[in-house]
Structure formats: C-alpha cells, structure tokens
Amino acid sequence: MTSIVVSSQKGGVGKTTVSINLAFAFARAGWNVLLVDTDPQGSVGLSLTRQSRKLLGFFDYLGDQKQTFDGLVVPTRMKTLSMIPAGQGEGYELGGGYSESVVERVKDFLGEAESRGYDICILDSAAGLFGITRDVLVAADAVLVPQQAEPLGIRSVPKMLKGLTELRAKNTKLSILGVLLTMVQRDVQESAEAADGLRELLPAQLVMKEEVPRDGLFLKASGKGVPVGVLQGSAKLLSAFDELRLEIESKLGLSL
C-alpha cells in the first residue's frame, strides 16, 4: 500500500478538495482506496457526510488502543472507495512536538489499512508541519503540496519544501511529489503570473504538471457531499484529476 499525505503550510489552499477528488480518481481507475481525515476540523467528513461529527475515526484510533480499525471505516457508493473520518478523539495536542508513540500508532493504523487490502491511502491533513501532521508525515510514503495560485501564498512554498526536506531525516522513505497549483485562474493576470512564477522559481520536478482550476462546481459538489466528478459538466475537472493521478503513479512507480 502507498500512503499519500496532502499537506500545506497554510489553510484554504484546497487540501480537502484535492484529497477527495484525487481519491475518487484513483478509485475510478480501479485502485482500492482509503481516504482518511487527519485534520481535527474534520473537513473531509463534513464534505462527504453530514453525520461525520457523530462517527468514530482516526483520532479515536490514536487515543484508544482498544479501538478497532474496522469499526472506523465508512463505505461509499463506490466499492473501491472507503473513508475514515477524523472522529471524536480530542486528546491530541495540535501544537505538540514530535511524538514517537503517536508515530508508531499512525504506522499501526497504516499497517492495518494495508492488511485490509487497500492499495492507496490518501490522508488529508491540518495546515502546517507540526503536531499530528508532522507525525503522519513521519509515517507516510509520499506528500503532495497543494498551493493556491495567488501571490502571497506562493511566497510560503520554499519554506514548506525546506521543512519537508528536513522531515526526511526522520522518514527517509518520504517522497516529495511536488507542489500542486490550485484555484488557478488563467484568465486572471495575478493568478496566472503567480502560477508561472512558481514554475520559474522551483525545479520542474518539484511542481506538478497538472493544475486544478478555480471552479464553482467544487462548491456544488461539497454542498451535495460528493466528489466533483459525479456532477454534470465536470468533464474537464475529472480529466484534471485523472491526469494528476497518472502523474503521481509515474512518480511513485505505481501500477495495478
């Protein structure tokens, strides 16, 4: 199984949107996918099911050694896509430092997912490289960094990549897939310039070729509790996430 964390330095860059729709893209392609919400705000769960606030989830597994993995899995209408919400556990200190015991528990969690036959585990995360996000990254295989195509946000990207590089001292297997430009508006000068500026600033291998455009369909999908690809008129967005999936498969050497 390959675990991919969707992580960013700041909030509001589309992490949850990317996590949900990338998981959907992998599932459509035949991969057996588990989507996990490791953000205490529970954004994935709230986007897909309004009952998520009442469900046990990832943080309950971290905080209770007796909590079973199977009791957390929420099936979807797709046989190849399941999810685990953030849950009810509140004992984790978000601003805490590196915790070996928590990392081991995250590794146990990922091991249980692999033993259930999942091929891909996509983990949505809280903003920043501290607390639970740090611990998840220390246990995972790869990280994808969404970044909104706007001038101020772009300036934080080098710091994020530096932090991820330093994290590899604790997790040498961690593959930095690259920065994924999100909310791109090619018809708006400032957005286009920010996107192009990032591509000029970073080595080509550190910026994903595919971009995620700004589109009102994402809001409609969230309102309906579904991935955007199931809505009418979403062909271009569906194609974008399929291309992103193919790019990730190529970078990680994945094949069914």
CATH number at residue 190: 3.40.50.300
**Rounded Cα distance, 141 and 163, in Å:** 16
The proportion of the chain whose per-residue pLDDT surpasses 70, expressed as a percent, equals 92
In this structure, of 128-132, 134-138, 163-167, 179-183, the range with the lowest mean pLDDT score is 128-132
- The more confidently predicted of residues 242 and 156 is 242
Whether 118 contacts 32, CB under 8 Å: yes
Domain of residue 160 covers: 2-252
Mean pLDDT of 67-84: 95
Give the pLDDT confidence score for residue 47 in this predicted structure.
60
pLDDT in tens, 108-158: 999 999 999 999 999 999 988 888 999 999 999 999 999 998 887 777 888
Residue range 42-66, pLDDT digits in tens: 777 666 665 666 789 999 999 889 9
What's the total number of domains in the chain?
1
Least confident of 5-9, 34-38, 76-80, 92-96: 92-96
Tell me: pLDDT of 95 over 50: no
Residue 109, pLDDT score: 97
Q: For position 52, what pLDDT does the model report? A: 61
Query: Does the pTM of the predicted model rise above 0.75?
Result: yes
Greater confidence (232 vs 101) lies with 232
> How would residue 256 be classed by pLDDT, with cut points 50, 70 and 90?
confident
The 3-state secondary structure of the chain reads: CEEEEECCCCCCCCHHHHHHHHHHHHHHCCCCEEEEECCCCCHHHHHHCCCHHHCCCHHHHHHCCCCCCHHHCEECCCCCEEEECCCCCCCCCCCCCCCHHHHHHHHHHHHHHHHCCCCEEEEECCCCCCHHHHHHHHHCCEEEEEEECCHHHHCCHHHHHHHHHHHCCCCCCCEEEEEEEECECCCCHHHHHHHHHHHHHCCHHHECCCCCECCCHHHHHHHHCCCHHHCCCCHHHHHHHHHHHHHHHHHHCCCC
**What distance in Å separates the CA atoms of residue 21 and residue 212, rounded to the nearest whole number?**
11
